[in-house]
Amino acid sequence: MTTTPVRPPVPGPLQETAPTFIGMPKFPKGAREALANTQQRRNLRHATHTIRGKRARVVAEVPHWEDLRLAGAAAKDEALHHLADYLVELEASLTANGATVHWARDAAEANAIVLEIVRAKEVDEVVKVKSMVTQEIELNEALEEAGVNAWETDLAELIVQLGHDRPSHILVPAIHRNRSEIREIFLREMAEVGRPAPDDLTDDPARLAEAARLHLREKFLRARVAVSGANFAIADTGTLVVVESEGNGRMCLTLPETLVSVVGIEKVLPTFEDLGPLLQLLPRSSTGERMNPYTTMWSGVHEGDGPQEVHVILLDNGRSHVLGDRLGRQALRCIRCSACLNVCPVYERTGGHAYGSVYPGPIGAVLNPQLRGTASEIDKSLPFASSLCGACFDACPVRINIPELLVELRAQVAEEGGRTAESAAMRATAWLFSDPRRLTAAQKAATLAGRVLGDRTIRSVPGLGAWTNARDIPTPPKESFRQWWARERGSGTERSPR
Amino acid sequence: MSTGTSRPALDAPVSQLRVALFATCFNDTMWPETPKATVRLLERLGVTVEFPTEQTCCGQMLTNTGYGRDALPLVRRFVDVFGEYDAVVAPSGSCVGSVREQHPGIAEHASDGALAGRVAEVAPKVYELSEFLVDVLGVVDVGAYFPHRVTYHPTCHSLRMLRVGDRPLRLLRAVRGIDLVELPEAQECCGFGGTFAVKNADVSIAMGSDKARHVVETGAEVLVAGDNSCLAHIGGILGRQRSGVRRMHLAEILASTEEDQS
Contact call for residues B52 and A492 (beta carbons, < 8 A): yes
Q: Which pLDDT does position A498 carry in this prediction?
A: 39
One domain for residues A52 and A69: no
**Within-domain flag for A476:** yes
Cβ within 8 Å of residue A443, ≥6 positions away: A480, A482, A483, B28, B29
Q: How many CA atoms lie within 13 A of A302 on its CB side?
A: 8
Q: What is the helix (H) or strand (E) element at residue B34, kind and residue range?
A: helix B33-44
One domain for residues A101 and A235: yes
Phi, psi of A423 (to 5 degrees): -65, -35
Q: Which pLDDT does position A494 carry in this prediction?
A: 47
One domain for residues A272 and A332: no
**Within-domain flag for A186:** yes
Q: Report helix, strand or coil for A96.
A: helix
Q: In angstroms, rounded to a whole number, what is the distance separating the alpha carbons of residues A284 and A22?
A: 34
Q: First vs last Cα of chain A: how many Å apart?
A: 61
Query: What are the chain A neighbours of B208 within 8 Å (beta carbons)?
Result: 470-471
Biggest CA pair distance of chain B: 56
Contact call for residues B81 and B55 (beta carbons, < 8 A): yes
Domain ends where: A418, A448, A468?
A418
- How far is the CA of A27 from the CAs of A169, A329, A412, A421, B194, in angstroms? 16, 24, 17, 20, 17
Phi, psi of A13 (to 5 degrees): -75, 160
One domain for residues A147 and A94: yes
Q: Touching check for A427 and chain B: CB below 8 Å?
A: yes
One domain for residues A135 and A228: yes
DSSP string, A403-444: HHHHHHHHHHHHHHH-S-HHHHHHHHHHHHHTSHHHHHHHHH
Q: Which pLDDT does position B18 carry in this prediction?
A: 96
Which of A37, A349, A384, A389 to probe by mutation at the B interface, max B CB count within 10 Å? Answer: A389
ipTM above 0.90, yes or no: yes
Window A:343-362, CB contacts with B under 8 Å: 345-346, 349-350
Contact call for residues A459 and B242 (beta carbons, < 8 A): no
Q: In angstroms, rounded to a whole number, what is the distance separating the alpha carbons of residues A110 and A460?
A: 54
Query: Helix B72-82 vs helix B113-122: angle between axes, to the nearest 10 degrees?
Result: 50
Closest by alpha carbon to A235, among A81, A102, A69, A85?
A85
Q: Report helix, strand or coil for A321.
A: helix
Q: In angstroms, rounded to a whole number, what is the distance separating the alpha carbons of residues A374 and A56?
A: 34
Long-range contacts: A493-497, Cβ < 8 Å, 24+? Answer: A493/B50, A493/B51, A493/B52, A493/B53, A494/B50, A495/B48, A495/B50, A496/B39, A496/B43, A496/B48, A496/B49, A496/B50, A496/B51
- What average pLDDT does the structure give for chain B? 96
- How far is the CA of B135 from the CAs of A62, A199, A265, in angstroms? 29, 67, 47
Provide the CATH number for the domain around residue A286: 3.40.50.10420
Closest by alpha carbon to A309, among A101, A81, A20?
A101
Cβ within 8 Å of residue B103, ≥6 positions away: B58, B75, B78, B119, B123
How are beta strands A258-264 and A225-228 bridged, if at all? Answer: parallel
Phi, psi of A296 (to 5 degrees): -110, 130
Q: Report helix, strand or coil for A464.
A: coil
Domain ends where: A376, A396, A418?
A418
Alpha carbon of B95: minimum distance to chain A alpha carbons (Å): 14
Q: What is the count of structural domains for chain A?
A: 3
Q: Touching check for A239 and chain B: CB below 8 Å?
A: no
In this complex, do A495 and B50 lie within 8 Å of one another by their Cβ atoms? yes
One domain for residues A339 and A358: yes
Query: What are the chain A neighbours of B32 within 8 Å (beta carbons)?
Result: 477, 479-481, 483-484
Q: Which pLDDT does position B262 carry in this prediction?
A: 63
One domain for residues A359 and A460: no
Residue of A nearest to B53 (CA): A492
Q: In angstroms, rounded to a whole number, what is the distance separating the alpha carbons of residues A283 and A55?
A: 9
Range of the domain at A385: 24-61+325-418
Q: Which pLDDT does position A491 carry in this prediction?
A: 62
Q: Which pLDDT does position A474 carry in this prediction?
A: 87
3-state helix, strand, coil in chain A (%, to 5): 55, 10, 35
Window B:198-217, CB contacts with A under 8 Å: 198-209
**Within-domain flag for A4:** no
Q: In angstroms, rounded to a whole number, what is the distance separating the alpha carbons of residues A281 and A404?
A: 22
Under the banding of pLDDT at 50, 70 and 90, the label for residue B211 is: very high
In this complex, do A489 and B208 lie within 8 Å of one another by their Cβ atoms? no
Domain ends where: A277, A300, A317?
A317
Query: What are the chain B neighbours of A36 within 8 Å (beta carbons)?
Result: none
Single-letter amino acid code for the residue at B90: A
Going by the DSSP 8-state scheme, the letter that residue A488 receives in this structure is H
Q: Which pLDDT does position A131 carry in this prediction?
A: 96
**Within-domain flag for A16:** no
Biggest CA pair distance of chain A: 91
**Within-domain flag for A306:** yes
Closest by alpha carbon to B58, among B5, B126, B10?
B126
Of A345, A383, A477, the CB nearest to B189: A345
One domain for residues A173 and A190: yes
One domain for residues A196 and A312: yes
Percent of chain B with pLDDT over 90: 92
Single-letter amino acid code for the residue at A80: L
One domain for residues A199 and A303: yes
Q: How many CB atoms lie within 10 A of CB A308?
A: 14
Q: What is the helix (H) or strand (E) element at residue A296, kind and residue range?
A: strand A294-298
Provide the CATH number for the domain around residue A395: 1.10.1060
Residue of A nearest to B39 (CA): A496
- How far is the CA of B26 from the CAs of A94, A249, A491, in angstroms? 59, 55, 21
**Within-domain flag for A13:** no
Q: Report helix, strand or coil for A165.
A: coil
One domain for residues A304 and A259: yes
pLDDT in tens, A107-159: 999 999 999 999 999 999 999 999 999 999 999 999 999 999 999 999 999 99
Q: Which pLDDT does position A463 carry in this prediction?
A: 78
Q: In angstroms, rounded to a whole number, what is the distance separating the alpha carbons of residues B151 and A482?
A: 30
Under the banding of pLDDT at 50, 70 and 90, the label for residue B8 is: confident
Q: In angstroms, rounded to a whole number, what is the distance separating the alpha carbons of residues B227 and B239?
A: 17
Query: What are the chain B neighbours of A428 within 8 Å (beta carbons)?
Result: none
**Within-domain flag for A41:** yes
- Give the mean pLDDT per block of 10 residues along chain A (498 residues): 48 89 94 94 94 97 97 98 97 98 97 98 97 97 97 96 93 89 96 96 96 96 97 98 96 97 98 98 97 96 96 97 94 98 97 96 98 96 98 98 97 94 93 93 90 84 84 92 93 48
Domains, chain B, with CATH or none: 14-136 (1.20.1050), 149-261 (3.40.50)
Closest by alpha carbon to A403, among A444, A460, A362, A456?
A362
One domain for residues A271 and A378: no
Which carries the bigger pLDDT value, residue A109 or residue B12?
A109
Closest by alpha carbon to B57, among B106, B22, B87, B86?
B22
Q: Touching check for B121 and chain A: CB below 8 Å?
A: no
**Within-domain flag for A114:** yes
Q: Report helix, strand or coil for B65.
A: helix
